[in-house]
Structure 1
Amino acid sequence: MAQQQVVRFLHNETDPPSIEFYNKAIAEFEKENPGIEIQMEAVGTDARLQKVMATISAKTMPEVFKILPEEVPEFAKRGYIMKLDDFVDQIGRDDFVAGSIATVDGAAYSVPYTMGNFSVLFYRKDLLDAKGIAVPKNWDELKAAAKALTGNGVYGFVFPAGKNRMTSIFFSSLMWSAGGTYFDKDLNVTFNNPGTIKALQFMKDMKAYAPPGIASYSYNDMINSYMTGTVALDIYASRLPANAAANTPDLFAKTEAAPMPIGPAGLAVHYVSPDSFALTTPAAGSKSPEAAQKFLKFIITGERLKDFSMTAFPHLIPPLKSVQAELIKDGSVQLDNRTEFAEQAFNTTNALDFDIEAGATFKDGKVTLSGVRNPYIGPIIARDIPAVVVQRVVLQGEDPAAAAAWGAKQMQQIVDDLKSN
């Protein structure tokens, strides 16, 4: 009798609908493949990387695990993850949304299963209408609206200022919209730039209109604070309307979506990140690499990709173009046929992610990529350096220019350490 193969599967999609989807998909897969057992572990978003790193030294990494684009270069360099070009070609390389596959020296080491657009403006139409305020289209209008809406138990705006990746995401979108980048195309640190300082000053100013708990806010707080009914304006991902429609339908009926307000560089730069799965190499702990690849293809293609995307529609944007159009039509039924939420979420133009932002330029309302993927940005984000810079300004009152200089120094030290190893 053949020995049972075990595939350990680690992810951070902990919402109940997502867990229900994975449990069902695993049961279907195991029924079709009786010789393979899937052992799933779901951890919180902020604990995911810590969990993975804890398994590296013991060489017990899970066979399939969630990975972020900025983490791919280091994991690939150290031989922890498998090259997946043949796997991508089997699925259909041309069907993937441009830029959704993170590569190292042109090779794919991960496969996206969803994309998240964290840069949609959600607003309380009833609160804006009551004060005669138009939907803000730029930073000045956003600040003025937040000020006018704050009071009587309402906060005009919300943003994260915790020491976490969500704060780095939020800040980065503002920095890019102000014309700044972390690195130039030659991978020199450029963090100490006017765009960084403008973004930090803007966040410092907006603190006056935000809830008092932002010092610890991360992903879920951007939704939970809004769903209390006390927040008027919220720039976040489209899991917000999905959760509001399911849990607070009265609030959802008052909620509308609009493009993120334009920054000083003359555009709004979306933070759009592909969430991907990687396959661990045997050297790093994989005991069943072939079974793992079979399971991975099963859960990220076809009807299962669509079903997963429906668990938090329209937040979970499928990376396969063949699935997107059908999803917008079918998914909007969950949102009272209000397609504007999906239309805003699925607008991934003028978008950047940490690993592709080096050397990006902002001109005539458009983002132009340098084509450079950054092997140094992962550790910088993992150590929450941008988030700490935000805290120094927003929570501790430090001058934005001084904080930007401090952040650049910390980033350069990380780059120097990586280059020396």
Structure 2
Amino acid sequence: MKSTEIRLGGTSLSGVSRRTVLQGLGMAGLAAGVSLPLGSGARAAGTATLRWWSPQASPDQLKMYQSQIATFEAAHPGVKIAFEPTSDEGYPAQLAAAFASKQLPNIVTHLPSFAAQNYYGQGLLEPMDDVIKAIGEDKYFPGANNVYKTSDGHYCGTAIGNTAADMLWLRKDLMQKAGIDKAPATWDELRTACQKMQTGGIFGAPLPYGLNSMTSLIFIGFIHRAGGQVFTPDLAVAIDSQATYDALDFYKSMREFCPAGATNYSWGESLTAFVSGATATGIYAGRVLANVTAQNPSIADFVTCATYPTKSADIPAWTFNDFPSVFIPKGVDNLAETKAFAAFLFEPAGYIPQLHAAPGHILPVLKTIAEDPAYLANPIIQKYKAEVSLMSSAAAAGNNLGFETAQHKPNLKANEIIASNVIAELVQRVVLNGEEPKATVGDIAKKLDDLMKA
């Protein structure tokens, strides 16, 4: 992968003593509000270079990372940070290559919690217990790190944020024009709303049907919103159920309300369809708010969200939260400095601007930040208080394939299952290709079973 290095405020250590380096690191620990012990990590030519990977690298986010990097480097003479953007779709292959070649990033952020569980289960990650303690366990929202608990009593990562990744986004102006007086709460209501609003070149919805992770992750939510599950709490394959057939039937019925290009939609295309005004509803996280404000302000006053509808009123909502993570690969150089940087990312002076780079998209996991006037003062968060509040509560109660419900064991194979696109394959075969559902679901169930046993 080609990397993009960001180096602001870094200091070359040519001719600088080791003692000076460690003194600088110690002072930075005080500045950052952390007290992690600093080891004697090996350095090339007296300089420690920490590689930071993240798929969250929009221009506004990149600016905030640059600021955090500059502050950390200035306070830690002899440490420089190289930021390298990764891909939501491509990170499994990128990390597999990094682990195989031992060309490891020091720190990885914003990947799903199930990725951290998967890599830790293979012995590939450092425990994050002391980083969490340095940040302050009491600062987190209760249970924020439960999804990172491991079978050996440690934490495989820590949460850098929450996302409510599959909210139903709505245009109040289009709803009013179509005579719709409330957000759809059931699938029938959603279909009716999309049908009424699909007019004048505007489609009803931007659901994904591509062979990619978005389709897999979104459709897993539909299975749950039909009252089903992909695995039992003990991780036996449970996808062959009436709920899955109902979800497939509904997903197929929605195809007529989606643009032709939805057969290849992933996250970016689905987001753009709603933000541009091409669809009346959307399915995405809070990045919608910043993008609408910047790219299509004419509809900004009419945008709102709700939890995505379920098959019937008696089925509870199920929100996909990938629990964006921070984790450290095992065996990295300069481990002490890496842990200090991981904790530093949560310091308010840097963490709040990082969250503000996409207001409402990555939501704070520290209650001290969520209550901070500096965080709350953001104009977009102020304008969309109700939407941000709803996303925060939905995300806090959210789940994903690695954490389907509170009763489920952590699924350490979730990362491999999503990377395999087997759930998206199910959607394409039944919805797009017209294959017989029962036989196809049975085939996919076998593939899931093989993946779990591999």
Instruction: Give the alignment's TM-score, normalised by structure 1.
Output: 0.91
One-letter code aligned to 1:256: T
Normalized per residue, the structure richer in strand is 1
RMSD value, Cα: 1.9
Residue matched to 1:377 = 414
Q: How does 1:71-82 map to 2 (within 5 A)?
A: 71-82=115-126
Counterpart Cα distance in 2 of 1:199 and 1:192:
12
Q: Percent identity?
A: 25
Corresponding position of 1:220? 268
> Would the alpha carbon gap of residues 85 and 322 (structure 1) be closer, same or farther in structure 2, given more than 3 Å must change?
same
Please say if residues 163 and 388 of structure 1, whose CA atoms lie closer than 8 Å, have aligned partners that are also in contact: yes
- What is the CA deviation profile of residues 289-335 of structure 1, one whole-angstrom value per residue up to 9, with x for unaligned ones? 11111111111233322221111111111111221133796255235
Q: How far does the alpha carbon of each residue in 1:69-92 deviate from its partner, in whole angstroms, 9 at most, with x for none?
A: 212233113322101112212222
CA distance in 2, matches of 1:236, 1:144: 20
CA separation in 2, counterparts of 1:293 and 1:215? 42
Kindly provide the CA deviation profile for residues 395-420 of structure 1, in whole angstroms up to 9, marking residues without a partner as x: 21223333322221110011122xxx
SS of residue paired to 2:161:
strand
CA deviation after TM superposition for structure 1 residue 258, in Å: 2.5
Off by >6 Å, runs of 4+ in structure 1: none
Tell me which of 65, 71, 77 is aligned to 1:34.
Answer: 77
* Match of residue 233, structure 2, among 177, 185, 196: 185
Q: For 2:102, which of 59, 63, 82 is the aligned residue?
A: 59
**Where in structure 2 are the equivalents of 1:20-419 lying within 5 Å?**
20-66=63-109, 67-101=111-145, 102-105=148-151, 106-134=153-181, 135-264=183-312, 266-282=315-331, 286-326=332-372, 330-331=376-377, 333-334=379-380, 337-348=383-394, 350-357=397-404, 360=405, 369-417=406-454
1:78-114 CA distances to partner (integer Å, 9 max, x unpaired)?
3221011122122222432344321221310112111
Asked if structure 1 preserves the Cα contact closer than 8 Å seen for 2:51 and 2:81, the reply is: yes
Instruction: Give the distance between the partners of 1:301 and 1:403, measured in 2 at CA.
Output: 49
Aligned partner of 2:57 among 9, 14, 19: 14
Tell me if structure 2 keeps the 8 A contact 1:72–1:104.
no
Question: Deviations for 1:366-416, whole angstroms, at most 9, x for unmatched residues?
Answer: xxx215212222211121111111111222122333332222111001112
- Structure with larger Rg: 2
Instruction: Find the aligned partners of 1:329 and 1:275 in 2 and give their Cα distance.
Output: 19
Distance 1:130 1:192 in 2: 41
Could you say what secondary structure the match of 1:151 adopts? coil
Count of residues paired in the alignment:
404
1:48–1:137: structure 2 CA closer, same or farther, 3 Å change rule? same
What do the CA deviations read for 1:180-213 (whole angstroms, capped 9, x no partner)? Answer: 1111122211111122121111110000110111
Determine if contact 2:194/2:205 at 8 Å carries over to the other structure: yes
Distance 1:245 1:44 in 2: 25
Displacement of 1:23: 0.8
1:363 counterpart residue number: none
Alpha-carbon distance in structure 1 between the residues aligned to 2:87 and 2:377: 25
**1:168 Cα shift?**
1.6
Shift in Å, 1:62? 0.6
Q: TM-score, normalised by structure 2?
A: 0.85
Mapped contact 2:207–2:270 kept (Cα < 8 A): yes
Whole-angstrom CA distance in 2 between matches of 1:242 and 1:216: 24
Aligned mates of 1:219, 1:49 — CA distance in 2: 17
AA matched with 2:131: F
